[in-house]
Structure 1
Amino acid sequence: MIRSVLAGVTALALLTACSPAGGREQAADEVAERLYAALGASDGRAACDLLAPDTAASVADDQPCAEAILDEDLPDQPGRVTRTAVYGQQAQVKLAGDTVFLAAFPGGWRVVAAGCTARGGGRPYDCELEG
């Protein structure tokens, strides 16, 4: 599933400017942490503002994103960031209890998928929230 999500942002990734990896990992970490801080505060609007457009649209299938995201089955306490990897215009942020995938957009990192669990065997992650 996540392969199709990440494939969708590849075209956009090729169009955005590259920047040094130095602060990119920290910026990706901050977006993942802000997502969970917003969810913890029941601030659906702030959480949705951090989503990639296709992911926000997917969440808002039957109701506004700001309401629907609070009903998603995401970890209540994802924990601290344990590892971050940036691959061009995509990033993977591993927290103690979750994995979040992000893509670079003109305004910065946006969450493409969250609530992701590795399935092993080279298979794509299984994600609760994805576009």
Structure 2
Amino acid sequence: MNVRGLLIGIATVLVVPTVSSCDSSSDDDVAKVATAFYEAIGSEDAATACRLLAPPTRSELESSAGKPCAKAILDEGVQEAVGAPQVDVYATMARVRWPQESTFMARYDGGWLVFAAGCSPDPKSPRDADRYDCDLQGG
């Protein structure tokens, strides 16, 4: 299943940069979780990748695939991210930019989790609109 046309419902993340966190520990935490997620994808460790998904993302995946996350996640087309991530943290949301794609993260009580992965800018959207096509996203 490929999920397309994601308009990140976290527009405030991208529209209100004045709330941007300057806390490098948050940036580091986000980068570590995002990197661990893509390493799990790359090594086909579906259980670990699923543990790093935000609850709405895991639920959406299981619902649309009709099977448990661990049996579905590797079929989503998400590729292992390469290169150094650039992290933008905005309160409880974050964007991790890799050379070829972006990942969107959400902070929960237990820490940062992947909300959307394998995201690239939607070529049909206006330049000032932050629309992404994502291979995996929450509902």
Give the TM-score normalised by structure 2.
Answer: 0.78
For the residues of structure 1 that align with 2:8 and 2:71, how far apart are their CA atoms?
Answer: 27
Name the % identity: 35
Contact 2:31 2:96 in 1 (8 A): yes
Per-residue deviation, residues 3-44 of structure 1 (Å, max 9, x unmatched): 23x37xx9xxxxxxxx97220001101111101111111111
Aligned to 2:116: 113
**Secondary structure of the corresponding residue to residue 103 of structure 2:** strand
- Partner AA of 2:103 in structure 1: V
Contact 1:28 1:109 in 2 (8 A): yes
**Secondary structure of the corresponding residue to residue 74 of structure 1:** coil
Q: Report how far residue 91 of structure 1 moved.
A: 0.6
Q: Does 1:38 align with 2:44?
A: no
Per-residue deviation, residues 52-89 of structure 1 (Å, max 9, x unmatched): 000001111211101100101112x4212341100111
- Partner AA of 1:122 in structure 2: D
Q: Does 1:2 align with 2:7?
A: yes
RMSD: 1.9
Structure scoring higher RCO (CA < 8 A, sep ≥ 6) equals 2
**Which stretches in structure 2 are left out of the alignment for 5+ residues?**
1-5, 14-20
Aligned to 1:51: 53
- Partner AA of 2:75 in structure 1: D
- Partner AA of 1:2 in structure 2: L
* Structure 1 segments of 4+ aligned residues over 6 angstroms from their partners: none
**Secondary structure of the corresponding residue to residue 97 of structure 1:** coil
Contact 1:2 1:113 in 2 (8 A): no
Aligned to 1:13: none
**Secondary structure of the corresponding residue to residue 25 of structure 1:** helix
Contact 1:81 1:93 in 2 (8 A): no
The alignment of Structure 1 onto Structure 2 pairs a total of residues equal to 119
For the residues of structure 1 that align with 2:135 and 2:25, how far apart are their CA atoms?
Answer: 28
Per-residue deviation, residues 68-122 of structure 1 (Å, max 9, x unmatched): 00101112x4212341100111110111222100011000000000010012512
Higher mean C-alpha deviation, range 57-66 or range 120-129: 120-129
For the residues of structure 1 that align with 2:25 and 2:37, how far apart are their CA atoms?
Answer: 19
